[in-house]
Amino acid sequence: MIVASRSSGNESQSDRAGSSARPDRVDPRLVERHACQRRVSWLAAPLWIGLSVLVMRLYFGYRIANASALRAQYRAIRRQSDAPLLVCANHLTLIDSFLVAWSMGSPGYWLRHFDELPWNTPERTNFGRTWLARSLIFVAKCIPITRGGAREDVGDVLERVRYLLQQGETALLFPEAGRSRSGRVEESAAAWGVGRVVGSVPGCRVLCVYLRGRRQETWSDFPARGDVMEVSMSCIEPKSDSRGVRRSRDLAQQIVRELMRMEAEHLRDR
Amino acid sequence: MEQSEVMDRVVKILTPWVKDEAALENVSMETNILEDLKVNSARLVDVVIAFEDDFDIEIADEDVDQVNTVGDAVNLISGKL
């Protein structure tokens, strides 16, 4: 388990320009929609957070290895700075976002620090099929996204993530977009949307989280029952001298490379 | 630069990322880059950077949100030349 906090370079002129030159215009409908969902989610938090952990612990029998140490390290990272924090994780199962959150904090911690509990961006086709599923993900701090969908819709989701980060809330994005079909973090799968978010939020830090069940060989819907999750964290501040789309790709690649480094370390120590 | 010339260069740039090569035979301004040509959405960024290099222009992240069809790309590029 590793916790590092480091910058991948000094803040460049284009970093400052790229993040501060952007006018802060946010669609009022987005603000209203976000506030409404946040309120509903907060009111229902004791139920859905508690239930999620009970299902993971008692029904699936999952455990987080060294959970208390991990959570202490997460709190230490939080104490280091008030800067916006985006969580980026590798992606192997449908419930990775719940497992990542569970590894970072206990249910009690998330109830006391609700805005730190990351918003998640699940694939709409996986979770948005039925009215019940759509209601559940609405309550559980989820912003559905259609990967490969209309660019404008994807842009709206990224805009909302940018907005909530600037409000001091946290989001979890999977830089590889979907679950890794090879079971390994792949640089070629790096989606530049994550770089776009990081590049548009001044001072944004990225908490890279590598999570893998001890019995998780490749991707699947769920980890094996009773599996123990090994988790490591590394906090980085991606920087780039490039501009525009190139800059976003550069930032996204730095995040994915960090996850690849963590994976190599995980597999070496396995 | 004529729009037809921009179109030809856009199609040429797109070709290496196109998974459905048959769709390239009937490519038009209305052809959807992701749905019809089956370009991987994660690789769209590489396509856009190739546009930047080939036409010597700079494209902002937000501009990419407007690009769904080949025609959208042609119009975006034409507007920056």
A82-111 mean pLDDT: 96
Tell me the nearest-neighbour CA distance from B49 into chain A, angstroms. Answer: 6
User: What are the backbone dihedrals phi and psi of residue B20, each rounded to the nearest 5 degrees, phi first?
Assistant: -100, 85
Q: Which of B42, B49, B62 sits opposite A191 (nearest CB)?
A: B42
B64 with A245: Cβ contact below 8 A? yes
Cβ-proximal residues to A142 (8 Å cutoff; 6+ apart), any chain: A119, A120, A121, A122, A127
B65 with A189: Cβ contact below 8 A? no
Q: What's the CATH fold of domain B3-80? A: 1.10.1200
Domain residue spans in chain B? 3-80
Q: Tell me the C-alpha distance between B64 and A113, whole Å.
A: 36
The answer to whether domain A5-215+223-269 has CATH 3.30.43 is no
Contact A170, A85 (CB under 8 A): yes
Buried residues in A38-63 as b, exposed as e (16+ CB within 10 A): beebeeebeeebeebbeebeeebebb
pTM as predicted: 0.86
Identify which of A233, A255, A236, A201 has the alpha carbon closest to the alpha carbon of residue A84.
A201
Tell me the nearest-neighbour CA distance from B27 into chain A, angstroms. Answer: 19
B61 with A245: Cβ contact below 8 A? yes
Contact A260, A185 (CB under 8 A): yes
Axis crossing angle, helix A45-54 with helix A96-104, rounded to the nearest 10: 100
- Give the pLDDT confidence of A61-77 residue by residue, as tens digits: 999 999 999 999 999 99
How many Cβ atoms sit within 10 Å of the Cβ of residue B22?
7
Predicted local confidence at residue A177, as pLDDT: 79
Q: Which of B46, B59, B67 sits opposite A244 (nearest CB)?
A: B59
Q: Tell me the C-alpha distance between B48 and B68, whole Å.
A: 12
Q: Which chain B residues in 14-33 lie under 8 Å from chain A, judged by CB atoms?
A: none
- Give the pLDDT confidence of A131-182 residue by residue, as tens digits: 888 899 999 999 998 877 777 788 889 999 999 999 999 999 999 878 989 9
Q: How far is CA A215 from the centre of its chain?
A: 23
- Give the pLDDT confidence of A43-61 residue by residue, as tens digits: 999 999 999 999 999 999 9
Domain residue spans in chain A? 5-215+223-269
Predicted local confidence at residue A54, as pLDDT: 97
Q: Which residue of A has its CA nearest to B67?
A: A151
Residues of A whose CB is below 8 A from B52: 244-246
Cβ-proximal residues to B35 (8 Å cutoff; 6+ apart), any chain: none
Residues of B whose CB is below 8 A from A148: 34, 40-41
Identify which of A218, A141, A228, A215 has the alpha carbon closest to the alpha carbon of residue A185.
A218
